[in-house]
Structures are given as structure tokens and as C-alpha cells.
């Protein structure tokens, strides 16, 4: 079976689906791996490293898509890439079917069996394949670095001949993977950190990282299947907004990470709450790609609102492409080895991992 890795074509995407080390491991299992020339260059993985790992190099995307049994990508394929796919081949990438309806329809029409790793079930067996968690780790780390370089103050407390400088006060909203990594990174930089999440179960994790957990007592269940936060009732959400509004007033930096799978990100910081913050405070909205947790966020832009700087970064993992690619490659190779048996696809749809991630098969759309 031939596994193909094309160069990513999405704007500002620097990651690659397989790094040389992981490609070499797949080759040792008996799979043939071909990589488009230059696919790993932006992530600091030169062609020679793939060649040394036993992978073949091809000159064009057509050679990858048209000659591979399974194509591995990071971003969903562009329409032109779908047209290059060999009919009956398979493709693995990360995308939400509801947001990529045209691509999904094109993949089905091309008779491509497409898998989205964004749909992996939150079960123990799937943890080595969990690309959302691995890439959220990168995003949470980079968000704090962005805040630190944007804020007009130092993060740690410093005692100097010119006097004592107090530490920055950082508030993290959402204590999932990205939020926990943001907490840990801000603490390592010397900030005083607090965190809020509607799920009381994460309190222990927050406190284990040295941060203060801000508790809002709510009557309803705030955790959905798989450990994700779920959408709250209108009344509870109003209380949540008021609670957060009180706490952002004192923050020098706010990192927001709250997301609800398959839905728009919830608004956690209103425009009024931003106006109540200190001039020079910084908000880094990691939910910008799905609408943003801050009411004034502009995805992909930096805005200033009443003296507060609001950043809406997109695709942060791609800004640290070497390690982001390494983790992604380990995730995608674990998934590949799960769905490939004896050199062919093992399409057992009763298997939760395969059944939940398969978006198109045999000309039909399975997830929309």
C-alpha cells in the first residue's frame, strides 16, 4: 500500500502530515511512503531527511494524489486536490464536515473514502490519534508568548534597584488542553494565574499547575460526553458573563480557549466587559477561528478597544511547525496503522474510531 504526503497549500500553513522519523517507521511496517518535494521544508524537514528515512520523493501533487492509496494531509483538500485524487483512494485530514460541505460532496463524488481526525471519539483507544489535543497544546503555549510580547509589561515579579515590579495577572478562560498549557506556560514565565471553567471537575488540574480556580456555582450539568463543555442555558450564561466580567477587570492578560464541538464558540467576554478592563490589557482569543470568545474579536486581526488589545490569531500551531508536525505525524500514523491491516483498509464501521471519523465512503456522505 502506498501512502502519499503532499505539500500543504492552505495559506500560511507550514506543517506537514508526516515527518521523516514517522515516515521511516511506516516504511518499516511494510508500507510505501511517497512525499512531494518540499512538503516538509517550511517545518525544517528537508527532502534529504525523507529520502534517508526510506520515503520516495515525487515532483508534483498530481503524483501524490493520483498514485497513492491513502493521502495524509493536515488541512482539508482544496477542490483542485480532490480532482487529483485517484477514485477509490482514501484521505485523512482534519476538518469539520459541516464547515466543508462542498469539499465533502466533491470527495464523495470522487468515490474517496475520507476520514476527519477532528471527529475522533474521546475514548482511551483514540488518545494516541488525538490531533485536536496535540495541536491545542501548541496553541496554548504560543498564545501566552503572543500575550507576553504584546503586553507592555514583564510577566515575572522583579526586584530591581529601580524598585519592585509586580507580576502580571493572567486569567485563562477554559481549562481544556489549550487552557492548561496556557496556565503552565504563564506560570513558568512568572505570572500570577487564575482560571475559569464551567466544569468543576477541572479544578484539581488547574490547581495542580499552581493557578487559582475561579468557581461559579451552577445548577446544571456543564460537561458533555467526552469531557467537553456543553452549551449552557440562557440564564446560566448570563450569570457566567457577569462573573467573568468582574474578574477580567483585574487581569493584565486574558487567554480564552472555550469551544463547543461543531458550534460557534461561546461569547465569554462582552464588549462592555472589555471596556471595563485596564488600558494596556491584552486578550488572546484562541477561539477566533470559530467566531471568538470575545465579542470584539476580529479573526486574524489585532484590534484595540478602549485601550485593550484584542488578538484573534488563526492557526497558531502552524507558527511552531516543527513540533506541531512531529505531534501531528505521530497522531496520524497511529490512526493509519489502526485502519490499515495487511496492506489494505480495514473498514470495520462497527469500530467506534473508524465509524465516527469516516466522512465519505462508496460515493456517499456519512457525516455532514
Choose, from 48, 51, 125, 127, the residue flagged as catalytic: 127
pLDDT, average across residues 251-277: 94
Q: Is 130 a catalytic residue?
A: yes
Superfamily in which the 2-119+321-365 domain is placed by CATH: NAD(P)-binding Rossmann-like Domain (3.40.50.720)
Asked if the domains 2-119+321-365 and 135-318 are classified in one and the same CATH topology, the answer is: yes
Choose, from 110, 116, 130, 333, the residue flagged as catalytic: 130
| In the chain, domain spans | 2-119+321-365, 135-318
pLDDT digit string, tens, across residues 4-14: 999 999 999 99
Whole-number Cα distances in Å, 173 to 109, 193, 254, 284, 293: 42, 11, 7, 10, 9
pLDDT digit string, tens, across residues 174-189: 999 999 999 999 999 9
Question: Sorting pLDDT into bands at 50, 70 and 90, what band is 225?
Answer: low
Question: Sorting pLDDT into bands at 50, 70 and 90, what band is 300?
Answer: very high
Taking the model in full, what pTM does it have? 0.93
pLDDT, average across residues 107-121: 97
With residue 82 as reference, give the H or E element that holds it: helix 79-84
Is the confidence at residue 120, as pLDDT, over 60?
A: yes
Is the confidence at residue 319, as pLDDT, over 60?
A: yes
Choose, from 21, 37, 96, 228, the residue flagged as catalytic: 228
pLDDT, average across residues 16-20: 98
Cell 471519523 -> residue: 357
pLDDT of residue 224: 56
Q: Is 127 a catalytic residue?
A: yes
* 8 Å CB contact between 272 and 241: no
Q: Is 133 a catalytic residue?
A: yes
Q: Is 75 a catalytic residue?
A: no
Task: Tell me the CATH class for 135-318.
Answer: alpha beta
Choose, from 86, 122, 187, 188, the residue flagged as catalytic: 122
Choose, from 133, 188, 199, 334, the residue flagged as catalytic: 133
pLDDT of residue 249: 96
Amino acid at each position: 500500500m502506498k501512502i502519499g504526503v503532499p505539500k500543504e497549500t492552505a495559506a500560511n500553513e507550514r506543517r506537514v502530515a508526516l515527518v521523516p522519523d514517522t515516515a521511516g517507521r511506516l516504511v518499516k511496517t511494510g508500507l510505501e511512503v511517497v512525499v512531494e518535494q518540499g512538503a516538509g521544508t517550511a517545518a525544517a524537514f528537508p527532502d534529504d531527511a525523507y529520502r534517508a528515512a526510506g520515503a520516495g520523493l515525487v515532483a508534483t501533487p498530481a503524483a501524490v494524489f493520483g498514485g497513492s492509496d491513502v493521502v495524509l494531509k493536515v488541512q482539508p483538500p482544496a477542490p483542485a486536490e480532490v480532482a487529483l485524487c485517484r477514485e477509490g483512494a482514501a484521505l485523512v485530514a482534519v476538518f469539520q464536515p459541516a464547515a466543508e460541505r462542498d469539499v465533502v460532496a466533491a470527495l464523495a463524488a470522487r468515490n474517496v473514502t475520507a476520514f476527519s481526525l477532528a471527529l475522533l471519539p474521546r475514548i482511551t483507544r483514540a488518545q494516541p490519534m488525538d490531533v485536536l489535543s496535540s495541536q491545542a497544546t501548541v496553541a496554548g503555549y504560543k498564545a501566552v508568548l503572543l500575550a507576553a510580547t504584546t503586553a507592555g509589561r514583564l510577566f515575572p515579579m522583579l526586584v530591581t534597584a529601580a524598585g519592585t515590579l509586580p507580576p502580571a495577572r493572567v486569567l485563562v478562560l477554559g481549562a481544556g488542553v489549550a487552557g492548561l498549557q496556557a496556565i503552565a506556560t504563564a506560570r513558568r514565565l512568572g505570572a500570577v494565574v487564575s482560571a475559569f471553567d464551567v466544569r468543576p471537575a477541572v479544578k484539581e488540574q488547574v490547581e495542580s499547575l499552581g493557578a487559582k480556580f475561579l468557581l461559579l456555582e451552577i445548577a446544571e450539568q456543564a460537561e458533555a460526553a467526552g469531557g467537553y463543555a456543553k452549551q449552557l442555558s440562557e440564564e446560566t450564561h448570563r450569570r457566567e458573563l457577569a462573573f467573568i466580567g468582574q474578574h477580567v477587570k483585574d487581569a493584565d492578560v486574558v487567554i480564552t480557549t472555550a469551544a463547543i464541538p461543531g458550534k460557534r464558540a461561546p461569547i465569554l467576554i462582552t464588549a462592555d466587559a472589555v471596556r471595563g478592563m485596564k488600558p494596556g490589557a491584552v486578550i488572546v482569543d484562541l477561539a477566533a477561528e470559530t467566531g471568538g470568545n470575545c465579542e470584539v474579536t476580529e479573526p486574524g486581526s489585532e484590534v484595540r478597544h478602549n485601550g485593550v488589545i484584542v488578538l484573534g490569531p488563526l492557526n497558531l500551531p502552524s507558527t511552531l511547525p516543527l513540533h506541531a508536525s512531529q505531534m501531528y505525524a505521530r497522531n496520524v500514523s497511529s490512526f493509519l496503522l489502526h485502519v490499515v491491516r495487511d496492506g489494505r483498509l480495514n473498514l470495520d464501521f462497527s469500530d467506534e474510531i473508524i465509524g465516527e471519523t469516516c466522512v465519505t465512503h462508496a460515493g456517499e456522505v456519512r457525516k455532514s
